[in-house]
Amino acid sequence: MKLKENWLTEGLIDFEYKKYILLAYLKNVKESFHRVELYPFLSDLVYHYRNLQAIQANKTMIYDAFPKELSSEDIKNLELNYRTIMEDDAIMREIESIIDFALPMLKTHLEEGSVIYEYVESKCEIEPIGVSSLAVNEGYLFITQPPESETKIYRYHTTIFGNSSDQYKGISLNYVFKQKRTLSNSYEKMKLDLIRQFQDLPNPATFLILSKLKFPFSPTLMPVAKRMLVKQVSKAA
């Protein structure tokens, strides 16, 4: 269960009702964290925490947060209805009470998730395989965790978004296949096989992420691995 983007203003604006919705959501978050499953809840918590902080600092954002289908069937009266809600002191006080309750609750769970994330990351190592390539924006990522006999191989591609003064790297991964690591099939041998099979990358940047412990793959290890790869590529670029 994910918390809707406009949960604060959707439906009945009542402190007890919103408290019930939030606590039910956070119960699912806590159960997920107890299973060491970070996503999608960790990124979801970041979004909602920052969103409530922004709304608290800028009350005009509440205006935009109200779902349009709850205002009026008459499109011409939407703006008037919004203003009526914004000017209703009782509703605004209720919203402020909900935000005051929700922020520390979200922060507590966000901190718990961050601790788990840092623990998982501390148990992972990233290193290049074979000769390092100068072109690091595209290549391969190997991910291995106990038992180390199985390695999942992905092809990655980085993209840059944002403006010239504030740029971020995003990364997309496409699953290639998995292989068993043996004495005769080392990581370097796997890389050479990839070069022979996919000749559009004659000298690909290739990184190995090795986890010392076994974690849930999709909801935990994979997102952590992607973040580690972004950091590594950003340093090497």
Hey, which residues does 14 pair with through a beta bridge? none
Hey, which residues does 175 pair with through a beta bridge? 154
Identify residue 57 by its one-letter amino acid code.
A
At 10 the pLDDT is 85
pLDDT in tens, 19-76: 999 999 999 999 999 999 999 999 999 999 999 998 888 766 666 666 655 445 554 5
Q: Please state whether beta strands 205-211 and 138-144 pair in parallel, antiparallel, or not at all (unpaired).
A: parallel
Measured between alpha carbons, how far is residue 121 from residues 38, 116, 117, 142, 209 in Å?
12, 9, 6, 16, 10
Among the residue ranges 82-96, 148-162, 219-233, the one predicted with the least confidence is 82-96
Q: What percentage of residues in the chain have a pLDDT greater than 90?
A: 59
pLDDT in tens, 89-142: 788 889 889 999 999 999 999 999 999 999 999 999 999 998 877 788 899 999
At 165 the pLDDT is 46
Hey, which residues does 142 pair with through a beta bridge? 153, 208
- Identify the residue with better confidence: 10 or 77: 10
Q: What is the DSSP letter of 141?
A: E
In the sheet that 150-163 helps form, which strands lie side by side, from edge to edge?
A: 124-128, 205-211, 138-144, 150-163, 166-180
Q: Would you say residue 168 has pLDDT above 60?
A: no
At 164 the pLDDT is 46
C-beta separation of 224 from 45 below 8 A: no
Give the closest residue to 80 by CA, choosing from 63, 96, 92, 94: 63
Where residue 77 falls among pLDDT bands split at 50, 70, 90? low
The whole-chain average pLDDT of the chain stands at 86
**The tokens of 50 are what?**
């920052």
Gap between the Cα atoms of 237 and 234, Å rounded = 5
pLDDT in tens, 188-209: 999 999 999 999 988 899 999 9
Give the closest residue to 221 by CA, choosing from 144, 140, 127: 144
Within its chain, how far is the Cα of 141 from the centroid? 19
Q: What angle do CA 84, 90, 96 make, to 5 degrees?
A: 105
Hey, which residues does 210 pair with through a beta bridge? 125, 144
